[in-house]
Amino acid sequence: MSTSPNDDTPRIRRANAIASQFCYTDDDIRRCSTEFLRELRLGLQQKRPSMCQIPTYLTRAATGHEKGLAIGVDLGGTNLRVCSVELHGDSTSTVLQSQARVPPELMVAKTSRELFSYIAKQIRDFLLDCHPSSIKAAQDDSSHSFFALGFAFSFPVYQSGFDIPDAVGQDVCKSLQGEIDLLCLPVKITALVNDAAGTIMSRAYALPPAHTRPSIGAIFGTGTNGVYLQNLSEITKPLDGDYDKTTGSMFINTEWGSFDNHLSVLPITPYDVELNEHSVNPQNQMFEKRVSGMFLGELLRLAILDLDSDESAKWFRASGVGCGFDSSTPLHRRWAVDSSILSVAELDNSESLLTLRNKIHLSLGIRKEYISEEDARAVKIIARAIGTRAARLAGMAIGSVIIQSQGFDQTSNGEVVEETTVDVAVDGSVVEHYPGFEQHMRGSLRALEKIGGERECRINIGHAKDGSGVGAGVIALLAAQQKATVLS
């Protein structure tokens, strides 16, 4: 942001003071990562530590040679995506996709039945649109072949207040399959997939054969989560079920949203405290509450309200009289502010900040004539602080799982040799749209001693757009083919 002579006013000083509370230094990042690694290892030993470390039973990334047609369904915290993925066996694919915003009342519905019935109907509409002959064939002949379906389920567990234990997976598939069968759709769920794992698989399939496969997948959307490739020898808790042991490793779903729920290293501002107190799951998902899209807009809202708590420097009163808002505006309603305003604030570098002022009008509900350039400047200062802290924490998490997964050390003929690159697949609207998210993440990667500046340059971070749904399809296909091999 360019500095202007107007920057040194009492009001802008107040904004800077609020912003400075979000500062998270390189030392903080290092301390945080030490604790992150401790919790990762704990999760490999016990069944219920704060990061669950759930085995995915996926032991290798896709190669690009896979072939077949499958359906992927991705239920995020905000969007439902249904797609069909046809893999041609040469890293290319044909993807058809539909997307819908999940009606919010379904996310908090008393019974999950309404939600699953809604999803089944979306699958039916998608098939009618994109694969109409399959429905007809299924109606004419009940022994008609089925689509394998992978269900990427990142249901915001924090909204319904339950914690997904491993066993819930079974119920989720059963419930959705039940609704699918009621509609007589030619679809069989063959895999329940975590969205970060899906992101890895979709990027892995699409990369050229000679490229390093992704060993890390991370989501920064409504929520945040990460999956990484873990050496089997360090997993001391029991792994039930069958899996291919020949690779010596398995992708593990960290559930890192709940990292440091006891707040031993995470930053704490008064806004974090208030957000947590008014959330549906106080003391849970504490990492996520500082990083993901569901919370960043609310943090900004709370911090902006605090700007106004200073009697001598009232905000949003450009005309000098009256006040640009009343108590019914989104600025005064909890959870009413979407985190996309942070991206707009970061993007608008104009002198007048007109785009941002318009966004403030639209998303905070303040009348345009009351929003001065100085008001917008203050919002920009605070938004940047919140966004930067989120991205630095995100980078800390990615760096920590890279260290845990020993991404740079590859064993070849019994010798440990340094791998040239590590590949990270990311997806989600926050990492996709917030300007500079990756650069801030890289700042954290450089701060970590076991990574540093030299290795940081050798970490690829690739965006797998809508990767969760496509990846769910890829995994469904692999699962169906594996089953077929077992049966024959």
Residue 355 contact, options Mg ion, ligand ADP, none, Cβ 5-8 Å cut-off depending on partner type: none
Residue 34: CB partners within 8 Å, gap ≥ 6?
none
Q: What's the min distance (Å) between Cβ of 115 and ligand ADP?
A: 13
Burial group, residue 118, by CB count within 10 angstroms (0-12, 13-18, 19+): middle
User: Taking CB under 6 A as the criterion, which residues in 430-469 touch ligand ADP?
Assistant: 430, 433-434
Q: What's the min distance (Å) between Cβ of 221 and ligand ADP?
A: 3
Give the pair of three-digit tokens for residue 295: 């919370």
79 vs 482, beta carbon nearer Mg ion = 79
Cα dist from 367 to 217, 339, 370, whole Å: 42, 20, 6
Cα-Cα end-to-end distance for the chain: 64
Neighbours of 177 (CB within 10 A): 18
* Residues at the site binding Mg ion, with contacts judged by CB under 5 A: 76, 221, 468
Beta strands at 409-412 and 415-418: parallel, antiparallel or unpaired: antiparallel
Closest residue to ligand ADP, Cβ-based? 76
| Closest by Cα among 214, 281, 238 to 425 | 214
Which residue in the set 16, 59, 79, 247 belongs to the binding site for ligand ADP (CB under 6 A)? 79
Residue 251 sits at φ, ψ, to 5 deg, of: -75, 130
342 vs 360, beta carbon nearer Mg ion = 342
Q: What's the min distance (Å) between Cβ of 239 and ligand ADP?
A: 28
Q: What's the min distance (Å) between Cβ of 203 and Mg ion?
A: 14
- Length of the chain, in residues: 488
Q: Which stretch binds ligand ADP (CB under 6 A): 14-22, 41-49, 76-84, 363-371?
A: 76-84
Q: What's the min distance (Å) between Cβ of 468 and ligand ADP?
A: 7
127 vs 342, beta carbon nearer ligand ADP = 342
Residue 91 contact, options ligand ADP, Mg ion, none, Cβ 5-8 Å cut-off depending on partner type: none
191 vs 304, beta carbon nearer Mg ion = 191
118 vs 243, beta carbon nearer ligand ADP = 118
Beta strands at 224-231 and 54-55: parallel, antiparallel or unpaired: unpaired
Residue 313: CB partners within 8 Å, gap ≥ 6?
10, 11, 14, 307
Q: Is 221 in the site for ligand ADP (CB under 6 A)?
A: yes
Residue with tokens 């992708």: 251
* Torsional class of 40: left (φ above 0), alpha (ψ -120 to 50), beta (otherwise): alpha
203 vs 455, beta carbon nearer ligand ADP = 203
78 vs 261, beta carbon nearer Mg ion = 78
Q: Is 428 in the site for ligand ADP (CB under 6 A)?
A: yes
Cα dist from 186 to 99, 115, 137, 323, 458, whole Å: 20, 20, 9, 58, 45
Query: How many residues in the shown chain lie near ligand ADP by CB under 6 A?
Result: 18
User: Taking CB under 6 A as the criterion, which residues in 284-303 touch ligand ADP?
Assistant: 293-294
Which residue in the set 77, 395, 399, 467 belongs to the binding site for ligand ADP (CB under 6 A)? 77
Residue 48: CB partners within 8 Å, gap ≥ 6?
none
Q: What's the min distance (Å) between Cβ of 195 and Mg ion?
A: 5
- The 333-362 contact track toward ligand ADP, x by CB under 6 A, reads -----xxx-xx-------------------
Residue 142 sits at φ, ψ, to 5 deg, of: -70, -15
107 vs 235, beta carbon nearer ligand ADP = 107
Q: Is 271 in the site for ligand ADP (CB under 6 A)?
A: no
Beta strands at 67-75 and 79-88: parallel, antiparallel or unpaired: antiparallel
Q: Is 99 in the site for ligand ADP (CB under 6 A)?
A: no
157 vs 342, beta carbon nearer ligand ADP = 342
CB burial string 259-268: b at 16+ within 10 A, e below: bbbeeebbbe
Binding stretches for ligand ADP (CB under 6 A): 76-79, 221-222, 293-294, 338-340, 342-343, 428-430, 433-434
